[in-house]
Amino acid sequence: MRGSLDRLAALACRLGAVSEADPRYGQVLDGRYRLEELLGEGQMGRVYVAEQLAMKRKVAVKLLRPEDVEDERSVARFRREVDAVTRLRSPHCITFFDFGIEGGELFIVMELLEGENLRQCLERGPLPPTEVRRIVDATCECLAEAHAAGVLHRDLKPENVFLCRPPAAKGPPHVKVLDFGLAKLIAPEDRDAGVITRPKTVVGTAAYLAPEMARGADPDATSDLYALGVMTFEMLTGTRPFSGDNPTRMMLAHVSEPIPSAVARRAELPRGIDAFFSIALAKDRAERFDDATRFAAALASALD
């Protein structure tokens, strides 16, 4: 049961309760993937454990909800996720295996992970700076590749960073970035202009939303790195830099509240870390890190 809960956290965000009597159990998709266990239900559809029959291996299958198949925006978003993840080859990005259509339903096939997500890890308290550096380095490697390919994550948060259990529990967990379901590819002709979504559309999770996204403006690579800055602050201090009792107040905090001191919340942190966050969490994207590699290098320097 524990393994199922771990996989649930890895493969979808905003999951619902696990069903014990799903009528889809045993269904074979495209003659290749037999659905075996419902892991959960997210905004875009259901995620199952399945067996890839030809190879006798377990995989994760995400199915778009049937009621959304006629919704062109949902279908386009689902296809966009497939297009996004298939471009990424970093060992720190979740691996995509296949894509298909079955009875009018779209599905994607991904690797099945074992371990826990970063949110579950943070529930036990702040992390040692050395572990934070390791997680950030891996996340930045994935983001650097994604951004170079014109892919933005747009919903980076602890639930979407997974710590894979190492074989025989030897060595540190392997970091994987999950769920590019909110990603939108930047068309080559739009990359210089940073045009990736319609203005005034707010997409993402309020606690990790960059100020420009909270205002409904177009995100860019610095928006993903802002979210990583929030996560880094949370990993080091055990608290988020900004709070609010509802999504609207949370977004307003990102837009208007001053950046708090990480050292004030965890005194043993090196003093230079506050200078790092003054850039990572800058309200103006022009003042932030614009490159994932530089973000990781700056954090390493601040923590030395």
| Domains, the chain | 2-110 (3.30.200.20), 116-303 (1.10.510.10)
Question: Are the CB atoms for 86 and 95 separated by under 8 Å?
Answer: no
The pLDDT tens digits of the residues spanning 54-67 come to 999 999 998 876 66
The pLDDT tens digits of the residues spanning 188-197 come to 444 343 333 3
Stretch 282-293: mean pLDDT, rounded? 97
Tokens describing residue 127? 């992390």
Q: Who wins on pLDDT, 245 or 288? A: 288
What is the pLDDT at residue 99?
82
What is the pLDDT at residue 96?
85
To the query of whether residue 155 is one of the catalytic residues in this protein, the response is yes
Q: Who wins on pLDDT, 224 or 96? A: 224
From 87-101, 117-131, 152-166, the region with the lowest mean pLDDT: 87-101
DSSP alpha helices (H): ranges in 117-163?
Answer: 118-122, 129-148
**271: Cβ–Cβ under 8 A, 6 or more apart, which residues?**
263
Q: Which of 155, 179, 218, 220 is catalytic?
A: 155
Q: Who wins on pLDDT, 78 or 26? A: 26
pLDDT band at 170 (very low <50, low <70, confident <90, very high): confident
Q: Who wins on pLDDT, 118 or 9? A: 118
Average predicted confidence (pLDDT) for the chain: 84
What is the pLDDT at residue 196?
35
pLDDT band at 21 (very low <50, low <70, confident <90, very high): low
Stretch 292-299: mean pLDDT, rounded? 98
